[in-house]
């Protein structure tokens, strides 16, 4: 909803049922002066983010739940982002438009939701949170986000584009901000208005699937030189902690260890109990490199590097579709050890057996 008062478009923030009107002008925002402008665009007062690294933070009370609506005209060839529940630059939730896909309403990667964990955008670990959307350059496009507890619904030009059953960020409240290169106008925030969307997390589609390897021991991160492509063995003596898979079977190493400033590796270890010797198929999603050992013997190594010929389907993201191979198991307990290295965005692993006939996983 837009209301003009003395030529000024106002930002409406509802505070527990009380409407507080906040003018959309520069004294309500924190920004670098050379990156953000306030002007009239297409006859509407607007905020212009002038560069791909522009960032504008709304001053005022934290946002938790409610509805956020705004009009956006994306610019340039980068992404246009909207941040909410922003605790700081490192921890925040993000919805963004991939501007290069403007005018392509059927492109499957037009929009994305992703959390930032310790300043790392986990887009490559959460492939399922992107979708197609009808938007264009050279015109206003309307965005609406409905946020309730752990769930979110996103709409672009009044069409549903994303249904997020579980917001993955570490924050449940924080500021609102915009980033990227775009014009922004007609921003409306309705606190507490969640349009009946449940705050309870939606169903994890893997919840009833026992084939996922969810319980592991994990080593401390260690540096790994870029030029090292093959490991000849894994640590025989090391200190182990426990780690458990998140939703969709994801071992989220970024959440566990934070941002990688240099290339790092950790070792994951678990046990597979087999009734008899044989070969069992496993599907693996990983970011970015893996080395796999069974009972101390190397059985597989691979890379999943986004933007290179080594990128796995789907486009270098971490899903069980990345690869599959066979594990040579002996009768009894089998030690499965996987080294996982990372130096690009999210760091994680998903492991799923093809079937459980004759084997038992740790739970």
> For 36-54, what is each residue's pLDDT tens digit?
999 999 999 999 999 999 9
Ordered structural domains, the chain, with CATH: 19-191 (2.60.120.560), 212-361 (2.60.120)
% of the chain exceeding 70 in pLDDT: 90
> For 82-113, what is each residue's pLDDT tens digit?
999 999 999 999 999 999 999 999 999 999 99
Residue ranges of E strands in 55-181: 55-58, 66-74, 79-86, 92-98, 111-117, 120-121, 130-131, 141-148, 151-156, 159-164, 175-180
pLDDT score for 261: 86
Task: State mean pLDDT over 314-329.
Answer: 96
pLDDT score for 226: 62
pTM summary value: 0.91
Instruction: Tell me which of 71-85, 156-170, 218-232, 295-309 is least confident.
Output: 218-232
121/90 Cα distance (integer angstroms): 9
For residue 151, give every residue at least 6 positions away whose Cβ sits within 8 Å of its Cβ, in sequence order, or none.
164, 165, 166, 167, 197, 198, 199, 200, 201, 202
pLDDT score for 24: 77
> For 177-217, what is each residue's pLDDT tens digit?
999 999 999 999 999 999 999 999 999 999 999 999 999 99
- Indicate whether 23 pLDDT > 70: no
Confidence of residue 223 (pLDDT cuts 50, 70, 90): confident
> For 134-167, what is each residue's pLDDT tens digit?
999 999 999 999 999 999 999 999 999 999 999 9
Judge contact between 167 and 199, C-beta under 8 A: no
pLDDT score for 229: 55
Confidence of residue 3 (pLDDT cuts 50, 70, 90): very low
312/23 Cα distance (integer angstroms): 47
Q: Find the distance separating the first CA and the last CA of the chain, reported in whole Å.
A: 50
């Amino acid at each position: 909803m837009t209301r003009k008062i003395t030529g000024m478009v106002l930002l409406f923030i509802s505070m527990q049922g009380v409407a507080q009107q906040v003018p959309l002008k520069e004294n309500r925002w924190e920004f670098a002066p050379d990156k953000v402008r306030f002007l009239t665009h297409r006859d509407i007062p607007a905020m212009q983010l002038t560069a791909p690294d522009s960032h504008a933070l709304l001053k005022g009370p934290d946002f938790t739940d409610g509805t956020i609506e705004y009009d956006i005209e994306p610019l340039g060839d980068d992404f246009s982002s909207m941040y909410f529940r922003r605790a700081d630059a490192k921890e925040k939730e993000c919805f963004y438009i991939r501007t290069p896909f403007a005018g392509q309403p059927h492109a499957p990667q037009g929009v994305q939701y992703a959390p930032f964990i310790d300043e790392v955008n986990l887009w490559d670990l959460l492939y399922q949170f992107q979708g197609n959307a009808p938007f264009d350059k050279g015109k206003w496009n309307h965005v609406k986000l409905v946020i309730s507890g752990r769930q979110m619904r996103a709409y672009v030009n009044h069409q549903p584009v994303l249904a997020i059953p579980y917001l993955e960020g570490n924050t449940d409240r924080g500021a609102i901000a915009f980033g990227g290169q775009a014009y922004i106008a007609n921003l409306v925030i309705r606190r507490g208005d969640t349009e009946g969307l449940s705050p309870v997390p939606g169903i994890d589609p893997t919840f009833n699937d026992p084939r996922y390897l969810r319980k592991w021991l994990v080593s401390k991160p260690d540096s790994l030189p870029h030029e090292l492509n093959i490991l000849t063995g894994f640590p025989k003596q090391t200190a182990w902690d426990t780690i458990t898979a998140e939703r969709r079977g994801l071992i989220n190493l970024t959440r566990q260890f934070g941002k990688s400033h240099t290339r790092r590796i950790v070792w994951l270890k678990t046990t597979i109990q087999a009734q008899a010797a044989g070969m069992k198929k496993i599907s693996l999603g990983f970011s970015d490199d893996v080395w796999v050992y069974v009972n101390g013997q190397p059985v597989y190594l691979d890379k999943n590097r986004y933007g290179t010929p080594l990128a796995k389907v789907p486009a270098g993201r971490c899903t069980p579709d990345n690869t599959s191979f066979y594990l040579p198991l002996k009768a009894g307990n089998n030690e499965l050890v996987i080294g996982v290295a990372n130096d690009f965005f999210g760091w994680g692993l998903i492991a799923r057996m093809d079937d459980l006939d004759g084997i038992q996983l740790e739970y």
